[in-house]
């Protein structure tokens, strides 16, 4: 995500919540909580740049000071943040800060209709049996894909294969002792030139 997510309402919500870090039992909860952003790179942390506001947990000033990698280490820091986020999510549900509301059109959506069957003429899904009496032969034939398109393609292919070029017909009438070659003059007309082969004299 290229843009860091900022939401002032989430930061203000941390001031209402109790301290969820609970790292300094002696002084924890003496002051109001503030938003403690995560220090992990996967949460959007960078040099001189805080992580996303959605990855902030409420913590009192004393616990916020103790919430560093130098004090807790890498694994201890990750574990402390995970536990704090779990406590924070639980508090959001208990305090009814998160509510589920019904959609405006809930229950008014039209159910998806089954396609119209071309055999029985009724709407049902493909895996369901046909509705009504047994289909007639005409209904089955009407529902079966027509082979007309395949016949047209085959007929056209055979017609093209049987087509004979006029020039080839003329070339086929040449005598065995001559060869036929097709030449085109500058004027654009086609002419056939026949050259006779000279036989060897005995």
pLDDT in tens, 49-73: 888 999 999 999 999 999 988 889 9
Would 199 be classed as within a structural domain?
A: no
Would 118 be classed as within a structural domain?
A: no
Would 66 be classed as within a structural domain?
A: yes
Count of alpha carbons within 13 angstroms of residue 68, beta-carbon side: 6
Helix or strand or coil: residue 59? strand
Would 60 be classed as within a structural domain?
A: yes
pLDDT in tens, 148-179: 656 766 777 677 777 655 444 444 444 444 44
Which residue range(s) make up the domain with 23?
8-94
Question: Quick one: CA torsion of 89, 93, 95, 97, rounded to 10 degrees?
Answer: 90
Report the number of distinct structural domains present in the chain.
1
Would 90 be classed as within a structural domain?
A: yes
Model-wide pTM > 0.85: no
Would 87 be classed as within a structural domain?
A: yes
């Amino acid at each position: 995500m290229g843009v860091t997510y900022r939401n002032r309402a989430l930061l203000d919500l941390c001031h209402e919540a109790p301290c969820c870090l609970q790292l300094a039992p002696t002084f924890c909860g003496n002051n109001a909580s503030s938003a403690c952003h995560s220090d992990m790179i996967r949460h959007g942390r960078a040099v001189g740049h805080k992580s996303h506001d959605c990855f902030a947990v409420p913590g009192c000033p004393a616990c916020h000071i103790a919430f560093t990698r130098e004090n807790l280490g890498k694994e201890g820091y990750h574990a402390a943040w995970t536990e704090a986020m779990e406590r924070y999510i639980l508090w959001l549900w208990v305090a009814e800060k998160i509510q589920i509301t019904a959609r405006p059109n809930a229950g008014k959506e039209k159910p998806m209709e089954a396609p119209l069957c071309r055999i029985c003429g009724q709407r049902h899904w493909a895996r369901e049996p046909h509705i009504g009496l047994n289909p007639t032969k005409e209904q089955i034939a009407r529902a079966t894909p027509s082979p007309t398109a395949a016949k047209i393609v085959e007929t056209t292919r055979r017609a093209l294969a049987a087509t004979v070029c006029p020039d080839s017909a003329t070339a086929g009438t040449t005598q065995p002792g001559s060869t036929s070659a097709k030449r085109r003059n500058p004027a654009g007309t086609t002419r056939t030139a026949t050259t006779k082969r000279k036989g060897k004299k005995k």
